[in-house]
Amino acid sequence: MLASMTSLVILAEEAAPREQGSLWIILFPLLIIFTLYYFMDSPRRKETARREKMLKEMKKNDRVATIGGILGSVVNVSTDGKEVTLKVDDNTRIKFRRSAIAEVFGDEPADPAAKSS
């Protein structure tokens, strides 16, 4: 009985170095997966940073489009910066969340013919 126990201990000690090699076999694919995820996620992070910059630089009289397709001009940005009031028509003003703005065109005129005159 004692002889079989010592032989099991010797076999376990011999097997230990082989298990260290198998650790790299497990970690290498994980490393590749995390690297691929990092590079595949990079365009999304760049687009998010571009959108945040666009919304932060939005100012009064900028022409904007909302995610619902409404076009208007910025009349007011709230003091906390979370709400934007848009002038849609002569007597129509609508409040939106800043996050509802899809695109900022700047303060260029709405009509291309008015731009040239």
DSSP state of 112: H
Confidence of residue 117 (pLDDT cuts 50, 70, 90): very low
pLDDT of 39 > 60? The answer is yes
Quote the mean pLDDT of the chain: 81
Quote the pLDDT of residue 26: 84
Long-range CB pairs of 77-83 (<8 Å, 24+ gap) are none
Task: Tell if the pTM clears 0.85, that is, is over it.
Answer: no
Instruction: Inform me whether the pLDDT recorded for 3 exceeds 70.
Output: no
Residue 104, number of CB atoms within 10 A of its CB: 17
* Residue numbers of the domain that contains 70: 59-116
In this structure, are 92 and 46 located in the same domain?
Answer: no
Question: Considering 20, 40, 56, which residue would you say is the last residue of a domain?
Answer: 56
pLDDT in tens, 5-20: 555 555 555 555 554 5
Identify whether residues 18 and 34 lie together within a single domain. yes
